[in-house]
Amino acid sequence: MNNTDALVAHSLLFNGLPPEQLKKIGAIAVKKHVAKGAAIFFEGDPGIGFYVVVTGKVKIFKTSFDGKEQILHIFGPGEPFGEVPVFHGSPFPANAEALTEADLLFFPRTEFVSLVTSNPSLALNMLAVLALRLRRFATQIENLSLKEVPGRLASYLFYLMEEQHNQERVTLDIPKGQLANLLGATSETLSRIFSKMNEEGLIRVEGKTIVILDAQRLRDR
């Protein structure tokens, strides 16, 4: 297994596929390196393919007419993004930008659709990943529409606890300014909420590390 095949094998999208399929997928993958802050694609660009994050983090976001940014997703190593237009044949519905310096794998639409057509197990993997993505997105919409900012922050901390398999402390995976954007709040509001939760004994903030002191009370926010 060459380096590209190994990177493909570690993606959530291709996990569990047999070596011969991984080799075919790796053969069409194009390695890309992007600098921090670099645009990967813009809303409305043709959906000519999709990406998988190898290293770093990528944000997917939309921008309003007045320039306000709303982050929709943040993806890290092993996670695909921009895959829906590949099957729908539509333009990208949002913007993608590197939150950090990042290495990506790009999969051209035409070649990938051909592989999926001949490998049903690959299609099943994609359906599983897209179903998880939809569930996360539905949760985010629910949080933004039904919860106040403290509740949104609490939900995000529980999400990190699940992702990082740690019930006692989590590490913020993005800068607090970006987190505020993701939660639909200002940086100042988020800072005040962190401080209040700290004062109330719900959490202890240690830089990027958040120690969970009272999970039950935090869940009730």
Tens-of-pLDDT digits for all 221 residues of the chain? 557 777 887 887 787 778 888 888 899 999 999 999 999 999 999 989 999 999 999 999 998 787 788 888 888 998 889 887 777 778 998 999 999 999 999 999 999 888 888 877 777 777 777 777 667 666 666 665 668 889 889 888 988 888 888 889 999 888 888 888 888 888 899 999 999 999 999 999 998 899 999 999 988 87
**Alpha carbons 158 and 164: distance in angstroms, whole number:** 10
DSSP for 166-181 reads -SSEEE-SS-HHHHHH
Residues 95, 181: contact at Cβ < 8 Å? no
| pTM metric for this prediction | 0.75
CB 157 within 8 A of CB 170: yes
Residue 199's Cβ-side half-sphere holds a number of Cα atoms within 13 Å equal to 6
